[in-house]
Amino acid sequence: MKQEWLEKSLKDQLSRLQKKLYGCGREAFKKKDHRSVGHDGEQLRLHGEYTEPDQSSELEDNKELNSAPVVVHDASAEYLAEESLLRDIKGKSEAWSEVKDFHQDSYEITVTEQVYQKVIHRQKKYRLKDEYNTTGKEVIITAPGPVKVKPGCQYSVDFALAVASDKYEFHLPLERQRRRMEAAGLDVEVKTLYSLCESVAEHCEAVREDIRQDIMNDFCAVHMDESPWRILGEKETGQMWVLSNRLGSFCQFEPTRSGKVAEEIIEGYEGAVVTDGYAGYNALRKSEKIRVGQCWAHARREFFERLDSFPIECEEALNFIDRIFFLESQARNFDELKELRKTEIKVVVEDFHQWLLKHESRYLVGDGLTKAVKYCLKLWTELTLFLRDLSVPLDNNDAERALRHVVMGKKNFAGSKTINGADTAAILYTVIETAKKVGLQPKEYLKYLITERWHKRKPLSPHRFVVEKRNGKPRVNFPAKEAWQI
């Protein structure tokens, strides 16, 4: 009996690994799946949206394309002569005259190669006139120079932001950037490029805590997750932790996966938290101020990865869960969502619970289906929190998406050489990903941030910056933070 249980358990682990390694990225098990591809109409629309969709076309909104330069093409004498010959006209080029204000326009998108240029900044000097000078000494002042990432830096803010953006937004390692610059005629060391990234991150520190507070003060529940992040040369692998919702993504590197880190990141928070089943988040359940919800996408995956071994049972379970996701996606506002959760969705959840109880003891302990069923039953109170809490979405996908760029960066440059480098990455990921979430161009926001800091002014967080641009009025109306109960 023990041998049979062990064989089933190993077979289940092998089957799930095959799904993860060789299965398709999207977890659909039939052609007509309730869950849509991408973000269009998905259940996170209400909890995840920040701005109203823009209905105008891409070309109409793109100012750079509207102000495109005009390149005029003249017909050469040789071309005109060939046209005369084709038409059996005696004259050559002189047979043709240009038609004024009559031409044919066409459009194309082109690329201008990156050019590195040395710019001389000449700051003028000003002498105080004698009739105004009461000091008895010559007084000379200098005109203000350009904004810098740090005093005396020989690289412009735009250069520093291009380096930081290429690495932490587009995952291009610094060594590859160095080689690309070398090919364009600029000789610069990797340590110089990293120093520029570090300088940008120092400016970002000014809004990092504000971003965390924005996330925690929002109506929507916060999401938490973590992903391994290596320190090159170290035996132990650290973790890049993330706290996120529609207002931002707050990243923090720690050398440990201990649940104490989660408590530290969320310190001072009152509200709902959505996590996966990792035991490190158990400490959050002890707080009376925190309501912990579990991710239905992770529960769904338990059955999806065992679909080949238990096709009938797993398809039944997936149908229940996908029906819940589908009904959630039908809500156009929080009032509709609240009503759906009290009625139709609640019925489906209760039916699924009965199904779980029915299959709880049908198979051996080591069977994959038993593990999937027990996973859901063990976390049932947290899985069903969304039926009682309007601020809670169905899954933890917001945190998964927040970590997507961390994972892509990790694949391209393997991690960081030092803990300081990992902290720099966490800070830049925080600001870049938050800017994108609220609809800002990361480089434009970073330039605003550095400019404000250079002039000794307090910069606004990305969310507060956008709200101020709208005269204090958010584009999307959300319930008050206290109105979470269903």
What's the pLDDT tens digit per position in 88-110?
887 888 888 888 888 888 888 88
Structure tokens at 350: 């209760």
End-to-end CA distance of the chain: 47
Structure tokens at 224: 């938490």
Residue 112 pLDDT grade (very low, low, confident, very high; cuts 50, 70, 90): confident
Contact 65, 56 (CB under 8 A): no
What is the model's pLDDT at position 47?
85
pLDDT > 50? residue 119: yes
Considering the entire predicted model, what is its pTM? 0.84
pLDDT tens digit string along 169-221? 999 999 999 999 999 999 999 999 999 999 999 999 999 999 999 999 999 99
- Tell me the mean pLDDT in the region 446-454: 97
Residue 473 pLDDT grade (very low, low, confident, very high; cuts 50, 70, 90): low
The answer for 301, left when phi > 0, alpha when psi is -120 to 50, beta otherwise, is alpha
What is the model's pLDDT at position 105?
87
HEC profile of 326-350:
HHHHCCCCHHHHHHHHHCHHHHHHH
pLDDT > 50? residue 417: yes
User: Whole-number mean pLDDT of the chain?
Assistant: 87
Structure tokens at 180: 């690309």
Rg of the chain's alpha carbons, rounded to an integer?
30
Flag the least confident range among 40-54, 297-311, 316-330.
40-54
Flag the least confident range among 44-58, 324-338, 380-394, 425-439.
44-58
Higher-confidence residue of 101 and 419: namely 419
Tokens 């933070």 appear where? Answer: 481
Residue 214, SS3?
A: helix
Contact 484, 390 (CB under 8 A): yes
pLDDT > 80? residue 268: yes
pLDDT tens digit string along 378-415? 999 999 999 999 999 999 999 999 999 899 998 998 89
Tokens 């009996």 appear where? Answer: 1
pLDDT > 90? residue 427: yes
Structure tokens at 315: 């398809």
pLDDT tens digit string along 5-55? 555 556 556 555 555 554 555 566 564 444 443 333 444 468 887 764 443
CA 116, chain centre distance (Å): 29
pLDDT > 60? residue 466: yes
Flag the least confident range among 186-200, 253-267, 359-373, 379-393.
359-373
What is the model's pLDDT at position 29?
58
Flag the least confident range among 112-116, 386-390, 400-404, 417-421.
112-116
Higher-confidence residue of 435 and 37: namely 435
Flag the least confident range among 7-16, 75-84, 120-129, 182-191.
7-16
Percent of the chain's residues with pLDDT above 70: 86
Higher-confidence residue of 238 and 40: namely 238
What is the model's pLDDT at position 107?
81
Residue 421 pLDDT grade (very low, low, confident, very high; cuts 50, 70, 90): very high
